[in-house]
Amino acid sequence: MRNMNTQKITIDFPSDILLTLNKNENELRQDIKLALAIRLYRLQKITIGKAAQIAGLSRLAFETMLSENEVPISNLNIEDIMYDSQKLK
């Protein structure tokens, strides 16, 4: 991942959350970053490249995570595909 300017955000959780989830702080931090990246990408607020950057993953690794979470990599709908196919004729 490229070096980027970062913004730190602090979130308060119940003190037993790490024990409850059986995760350490770094694992929870990574899960939160991935969930945020997937959510923002799904809402079409950010590009797939920016989402991968937020998640701290390569684009290929992020696309794999999208697939594992049943999130489509492409946001094309049937109308877009039909329009593009007509242009190719």
Q: Provide the domain limits for residue 28.
A: 17-88
Is there a domain that residue 5 lies in?
no
26 assigned to some structural domain: yes
- Whose CA is closest to 73, among 85, 62, 83? 62
Q: What is the pLDDT of residue 51?
A: 95
Q: If 0-12 CB within 10 Å is exposed, 13-18 middle and 19+ buried, where does residue 41 land?
A: buried
Q: Phi first, then psi: what are they for 10, rounded to 5°?
A: -105, 135
Q: Report pLDDT digits (tens) over 36-86.
A: 999 999 999 999 999 999 999 999 999 999 999 988 887 666 776 777 777
Higher pLDDT, 84 or 27: 27
pTM for the full predicted model = 0.75
Q: Judge whether 21 lies within some domain.
A: yes
- Number of other residues whose CB lies within 10 A of the CB of residue 75: 10
- Can you tell me the distance from the alpha carbon of 51 to that of 73, in angstroms, rounded to the nearest whole number? 12
Tell me, yes or no, whether 50 lies in a domain: yes
